[in-house]
Chains A and B, each alone.
Chain A
């Protein structure tokens, strides 16, 4: 009798655990401990030898999905997004991995970093240089390269190419400016360099975006 009771209860708790998989592990364990404790106490307070007791107690506890959904709502500061783990990948976040709700990111680590982040950072760096201080532009560019290497969406060779191009886009025009008399280049030369500075990084970003392997079911390539 004891084993039969345990089996049904275990199945129920396993269902809750499954449904609550997006919860942080310690929250999930806490919830399971609370529910197990409830079952023990509730059963102890029922007349002994009632064959329907376990079923009754579990029925009153309710649907594991409802409990898990409530727990997710209570747990996160982003109640709407965190409630449905399956909704995450379907809606691509506007930028970056930091946006991903806690649960999935914790499980997958880098596997879940979206290629968005590196692509966007690398793409905006040059336009940003028109309006923002040099230092900020530099930080954005470096962050883009760092994200590029943290994101598993590209083979190493492609990451090297993107990194090299990003460095050259800065280095080449500045070197030319240092070594030669820019005024001597004439307007067409300067224009060509400027255009290259904007077009090349953008082209690299587009290329990265189109060739990225998406984590799980990302937006269509």
Chain B
């Protein structure tokens, strides 16, 4: 399952990539909500969820910006295996940004559902329901 998915990643649609661009940073912030993680760990989590999977290298410029904007702080920690890991943690600013997004998102999602209609192809739903 994973190799096949990885193969499709390169040519994911434009819409998916546009959407990802908008929400990826909040997904990263959300992954840090319960505690610090290091980058490879973050990327693994993102990869595990289809639509957020992206070429991993593209997440580093995003992490760099989050550091610069002080939405996250970083801290090196020794590891039992291999090199030290750089752990990312939410700053208060980062947490506030995440909460703000979390507040907006449901309305946003509902609005898109409203316009795009994600209930699948149902020819005239209102008429059928009113007959009953």
Contact = CB atoms under 8 A, between A and B. Distances in A.
B81 A44 contact: yes
A9 B85 CA distance: 19
B61 to A, nearest CB: 4
Interface in A39-74: 40-45, 59-64, 66-67, 70-71, 73-74
B64 A27 contact: yes
Q: Is the interface of B mostly helix, strand, loop or mixed?
A: helix
Interface residues of B, number: 24
Given A31-B64, A35-B60, A60-B56, A40 B82 contact: yes
Contacts of B61: 31, 67, 70-71, 73-75
Contacts of B86: 37
A30 interface: yes
Interface string A156-197: 000000000000000000000000000000000000000000
Nearest to A66: B55
B57 interface: yes
A38 interface: yes
A62 B65 CA distance: 19
A40 B81 CA distance: 11
A216 interface: no
B38 A41 contact: yes
A41 B56 contact: no
12 contacts: A34-B64, A37-B39, A37-B86, A45-B82, A60-B55, A60-B56, A63-B55, A67-B60, A71-B64, A74-B61, A74-B62, A74-B65
Given A37-B83, A75-B61, 7 more contacts: A41-B85, A44-B81, A60-B56, A62-B55, A67-B60, A71-B60, A74-B64
